[in-house]
Amino acid sequence: MPTTDAYGQGVQIAALTDAPNAATLAQNLADALAQRGVMRFASASARAATITSPVEGMVSWLQDTNSLEVYDGTAWRAVPYGTQWTTYAVSWTATTTNPSLGNGTLVGQYMKIGTTCHIYIKLVIGSTTNMGVGTYRFSLPFTTATITNSDPGSLRTIFSRSSTPNHGTGNSPLGNGWTTTDQIWFPSSTPGDENVWTNTQPWTLTTTNIIRVDGTYQTAT
């Protein structure tokens, strides 16, 4: 009768009284140790096809999303592991005619842990930036989640410029299953009022104006 390891992990160790069988010995050790280490899979679907009955405490690495996950007895959950901020190509669009950046700058960054995404966007208007026409939106790094009777998140927006008003904060609520921000709202000249951000509202963008967007939202996957 095989015994188990001294750490209570259920790894079977052949006894001297067992019939010699090198293949069984190797297989028992390999199977036991593999599921107790960090298992590597190409994707979540590949993992599901291989591990049809996961056991609580299993840990896996998904190569397509570069994510570390642990099974908690019900589902695979993301494990933070020194996550870093990553840049992404932000699209700045308008409902009628898209703007063109010219010599301005537009930078997007995100940090994703499981289905939680932290985001930061910075737009600086340049002297050759074409403002386009219509309501502005920025692209998101990941599609937003669909939340029953709720929203996946809301982003904060900040403007900076030399004219009056020279600084202010706004917002952009996010809808279910979206790939871009919603309308971005900024305070108007009327106290307590806000205007949707367009090429003319609340003001016409000019060189060195800065728009920042940051916040956290739930992603679809």
Residues 140-149: tens digit of each pLDDT: 999 999 999 9
What does the block give as tokens for 62?
Answer: 């998904």
Q: What is the mean pLDDT of the chain?
A: 87
Q: What is the C-alpha radius of gyration for the chain, rounded to an integer number of angstroms? A: 26
Residue 179 pLDDT > 50: yes
* pLDDT at res. 27: 74
* pLDDT at res. 33: 62
Helices of type H across the chain: 22-34, 44-50
CB contact set of 208 (below 8 Å; sequence gap of 6+): 124, 125, 161, 162
* pLDDT at res. 34: 59
Closest C-alpha among 61, 19, 26, 18 to residue 40: 61
Phi, psi of 100 (to 5 degrees): -125, 135
Residue 6 pLDDT > 60: no
Query: What confidence category does residue 178 fall into, taking pLDDT thresholds of 50, 70 and 90?
Result: very high
